Amino acid sequence: MEDKKFQPFIPAEKVVPEFTLFSVILGAILAVVFGGANAYLGLRVGMTISASIPAAVLSMGVVRFLFKRDSILENNMAQTIGSAGESLAAGAIFTMPALFMWADEGVCDVPSIIDIALIALCGGVLGVMMMIPLRSALIVKEHGTLGYPEGRACAEVLMAGEQGGSRASTVFSGLGIAAVYKFIADGLKLFPSEVDYSIDAYKGSGIGVDVLPALAGVGYICGPRISSYMFAGSFMTWFVLMPLIVLFGSDLVIYPADVSVAELWATGGTWGIWDSFIRYIGAGALVAGGFISLIKSLPTIVTAFSAAFKSYGKSSTGTLRTEQEIPLKVILAVCAAVVVFIWLYPGIPVNFLGAVVILIFGFFFATVAARMVGSIGSSNTPVSGMAIATVLIATILLKATGTTGATGMVGAIAIGSVICVIVAISADTSQDLKTGFLLGATPRKQQYGELIGVAVSSIAIGAILMLLHNAWGFGSEELGAPQASMMKMVIEGVMDGNLPWSLVFIGVFIALLMELLGLPVLPIAIGIYLPIHLNAGIMLGGVVRWLVEKRKYKDEKAQNNAVQSGVLYASGMIAGEGLVGILLAVLAVLGINVDLSGSISLGNIGALVAFAALLASLVAFAAKGAKDDSSK
């Protein structure tokens, strides 16, 4: 029910600067920065982070403390536009790199920047438009019921303006330190960014760690519990499954490998075993985990869709500034135009059936996502399950209607790409509109801001994906693109039936076993799918979060501020590595070599010492956050 007593931070009758040229430019810059950083992170690690709070902190630091502007709604507009970049990037990187991998295999042509941008733009515009008519039902009328945790957190950060200076500096410190570290490690190559050891006495096993800032940042933000589940999945793979494969299959040639297991171990070590067998097991676990999370969410999904559909289009548009939004007739016209464009534009290889699938599944999942993030938050919404379900159903439908081969595969991934972006953007839009509702923003202006963020981010993600592909290629050691690789394998398996299904089903049944044991399947499945080196780095970041939480503080407020200071520093670390990763890609494409490893190298010991120092800086900034707050 609508809370009649609720009064936003800025009253409806008060007009302050909001949708200004300054906020649009700043928001666009934040959208590109966090979109690029999240794209690199997701392609490297297989995970993305929410940029809403860091974007809110940075916009406040720039608007309020650098340029001495004091409009909280201007800050909010910059955050709204900026957070769209992260969400659109998250939706795009889970699917679109598959197109580049197929192009490398000669299956299709390399997609152009324009094609990528338009696929992302279509999904982004639909995601925003499909969410707008739900604002009245989900955000206004259910204000006391649906919490929208990320949206509320952003509002609290922006309202705590007097803390913005120190908080913004914490983000910038993390960004700068991580940028320098990343350039030394992967640019100058003074020490390796990956430490790797094979254990010859226990054949098939190995251990290592990627000593990278983004991994430590992800681990800290995820916390010790999720990090430990991910590491457990890798631990089981590298110390149980791989040694078993070597032990029992030593002299056998097991599909899809074309040489014996013993030869794989002798020539490729742990990586030979992992590449030939484990990634298929991990894909099976991930697919099963996605469906399990989707099935477990079905009661919530049904309730969410039913309640939201009943109120769909019952706009709260009125005379008050805080009730004005884009009219429903404009929304319907835009949605229809986008769907027709998807059908007719040759760069998006989708027939009329595919366009209809996008409309139906996009509407359903946007409605579900908009409500679910209100109750369980963006991080817990089963986006992976929605994406996998869409890709599977789209592939089956396309194959059943005779659209097979390269055309069918590219069409399926295009459908999946648009749906992924729709889900990510609709979730982000709902959180941003909740922030605006609490602050007293003008909904229509925020919705325009979301569309601007989507447009800017679409152009940027096309250029970023093309740049990263030209520098290293997707599916490479540098950019594994785990989700897109999994989508690619699923589509190929349905279309061609050439997957090693026994390995895939091993992963499926491992996931079912974890579910029966009451363990969270998806984090463990991600751990199985990703190398132990990545998850070891994430685990160490989780350990730092555990240490910060367990320290003794003056009071609970100081403890909370220490943890949050660490989150902001970790967010800066992720952004810093992502931006330097893109810079290194530019240098690689231009043929500029800054590698100094031929003359100077600190080796594995130097890498471990450097990573330990980086983790210590994370602890230090968390402790500083507690002291700064307690001294006020």
pLDDT tens column, 213-245: 989 988 898 889 989 999 999 999 999 999 999
Query: What's the mean pLDDT in 512-532?
Result: 89
Q: Please list the alpha-helical segments (H only) found in 183-212.
A: none
Q: Is pLDDT at 632 greater than 50 in this prediction?
A: no
Close Cβ partners of 242 (under 8 Å, ≥ 6 residues apart): 204, 205, 206, 270, 273, 274, 277, 278
**Whether residue 548 has pLDDT greater than 50:** yes
**By mean pLDDT, which of 69-73, 148-152, 312-316, 390-394 is the weakest?**
312-316
Per-residue model confidence (pLDDT) at position 375:
62
Question: Which residue did the predictor score with more confidence, 83 or 62?
Answer: 83
Given a cut of 70, whether residue 144 has pLDDT beyond it is: yes
**Extents of the domains making up the chain:** 21-170+300-485
Mean pLDDT of 66-79: 84
Using 50, 70 and 90 to split pLDDT, how confident is the model at 631? very low
- pLDDT for the residue numbered 352: 85
d(CA 320, CA 136): 14
Examine the pLDDT at 3 and tell me if it is beyond 90: no
Q: Name 194's bridge partners.
A: 210
pLDDT at 187 over 60: yes
Residue pLDDT, tens place only, 344-354: 998 888 888 88
- Across all residues in the chain, what is the average pLDDT? 85
Per DSSP, the three-state class of 226 is helix
Question: Mean of the pLDDT values across residues 267-285?
Answer: 86
φ and ψ at 201, to 5 degrees? -70, -20
Q: Report the pLDDT value the prediction gives residue 531, as an integer from 0 to 100.
A: 87
Query: Average of pLDDT values for 9-38?
Result: 90
Q: 49 pLDDT band (50/70/90 cuts)?
A: low
The pLDDT of residue 385: 60
**pLDDT given at position 162:** 44
The CA-to-CA distance between both ends of the chain, in Å, stands at 39
Whether residue 500 is predicted with pLDDT greater than 80 in this model: the reply is: yes
- Contact (Cβ atoms closer than 8 angstroms) between residue 578 and residue 182: no
Look at the block and give the residue holding tokens 């494409």: 589
Highest mean pLDDT among 58-62, 290-294, 557-561: 557-561
pLDDT of residue 2: 43
Give the mean model confidence (pLDDT) for residues 122-141: 88
Read off the pLDDT of each residue in 489-493 and give the average, rounded to a whole number: 85
